[in-house]
């Protein structure tokens, strides 16, 4: 949707500014950190970050199923999978029980 201002300027108004079409809202992030981390505010736990990466990975995977030639998104997806893998390796090294719990909860195959 666009609105005309003056004679030659147009402002594009879409769902980005209104927030209706955002797939990852602040409330959604807080929900991830609350259910997988220690609290809503503690965003640094490995479990919370892994859950957030998993959600973003699934979203990008669905996007790439529709847009096969979106190579920048494909690169971002590969980098994100690598980040999640490194976090999982860290968690596996530090505490194997927490690693097994997060793998089971998110249904990530290893």
The tens place of each residue's pLDDT in the chain, 110 residues long, gives 555 555 554 444 444 444 456 788 888 888 888 888 888 888 889 999 999 999 999 999 999 999 999 999 999 999 999 999 999 999 999 999 999 999 999 999 86
Is 17 domain-assigned? Answer: no
What's the confidence (pLDDT) of residue 102?
Answer: 94
Does residue 5 belong to any structural domain of this protein?
no
Is residue 9 a part of any domain in this protein?
Answer: no
| Ramachandran sector of residue 109 (left: φ over 0; alpha: ψ -120 to 50; beta: rest) | beta
Domain contains 14: no
| 13 touches 3 (CB < 8 A) | yes
Q: Looking at residue 34, which CATH number applies to its domain?
A: 1.10.287.10
Q: What is the pLDDT at residue 51? A: 93
Helices (H), 1-110: 15-18, 26-36, 46-66, 71-94, 96-106
Query: Does 8 reside within a domain?
Result: no
Do the domain assignments include residue 7?
A: no
46 is a domain residue = yes
Q: Which domain holds residue 45?
A: 23-106
Q: Which two tokens stand for residue 12?
A: 């594009």
- Count of domains forming the chain: 1
Report the Cα–Cα distance between both ends of the chain, in Å, rounded: 45
Residue 10 belongs to a domain: no
pTM here is 0.77
């Amino acid at each position: 949707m666009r609105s005309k201002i003056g004679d030659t300027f147009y402002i594009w108004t879409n769902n980005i500014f209104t927030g209706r079409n955002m797939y990852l809202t602040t409330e959604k992030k807080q929900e991830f950190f609350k259910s997988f981390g220690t609290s809503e505010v503690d965003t640094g736990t490995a479990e919370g970050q892994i859950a957030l990466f998993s959600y973003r990975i699934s979203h990008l995977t669905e996007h790439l199923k529709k847009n096969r030639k979106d190579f920048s998104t494909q690169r971002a997806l590969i980098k994100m999978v690598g980040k999640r893998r490194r976090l999982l390796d860290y968690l596996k090294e530090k505490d194997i029980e927490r690693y097994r719990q997060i793998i089971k909860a998110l249904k990530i195959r290893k």
